[in-house]
Structure 1
Amino acid sequence: MSGRYGIAYHGAFTFPLAPQRLWALIEDPANFERWWGWLHDVHCTDPLITAASVLTGVVDPPVPFSMRVRVTIDECEPARHIAASVGGDLRGTAGLDIDGDGGDASVAIGWDVEMMQPQMRVASLVARPVLQWGHDRVVEAAVRGFRRELTR
């Protein structure tokens, strides 16, 4: 999928809290907009993320495109694993895996999505480095925002 219109990402991060505590934060979509300034209009079909939950929202990266996305949780094993389907202006798959034994939580996150907006597709052909730069800034901001939340 990560061909000429796609973006694939795989990252790993460690956070100084137990996996169950990490999960207690990320399972609540009411937290997302506070952590991540580039994400707004978040709605979820359930108060906490579970299998079959559907989240919608708007992503505003530091490039001139806003993206409406829909994330359907296909698999959810609390404090361990999420697999999701992504729809809307981005289409593909995403996943999150949490590991740890009560001390630090290790998180592996990844996605493989295709850009669906015509202007994004053109930009991916003529300005791929700019789109990749914007993507990378969004990831960095997400991790920074989450780490900031841990110090509250």
Structure 2
Amino acid sequence: MKSYLFPILGSIDDMVQQERQMPTPAYGQVLVRMRAASLNYRDLTVARGRLPRAKTVDLMPLSDGAGEVVAIGDGVTRHVVEDRVAGLFFQGWVGGALSERMAASALGGPVDGVLTEYRLFDEDGLIEIPGHLSICPLYWARSAANSLMIFFSGSVS
């Protein structure tokens, strides 16, 4: 599968495409075929190496993405195959006061982002997209202030 990453942070121009093995969901995990992602100002800040919490080597960028569930691991109860889902920005924050540990679970910074064809999430790191919304217009509305939109339609382009 195709993924994009920054071998080292410094410039958006340093991003490279990489072939990776298709992941297999473990207990409590969900495999999502990514269909849409948006580039936010924060993502540019990360690419330039200006976000202190971001990992600095082999980072898969972008914090906002949506797609469809293609496989689930044992123990998953909140999602089923074919659910349309979006990743939560803070993967480890489901409620309460934000802690350092929870802040360290932000996609596309301390944790790999969503610029890939397929991505594993813990089941609590996803939210279902309502049936009356489609994935691409959802991301257009969610990221209306951004000037660049990236849409997936079968492969990363």
Q: TM-score, length-normalised on structure 2? A: 0.27
Q: Structure 1 or 2: larger strand share?
A: 1
Q: Structure 1 or 2: larger helix share?
A: 1
Q: TM-score, length-normalised on structure 1? A: 0.27
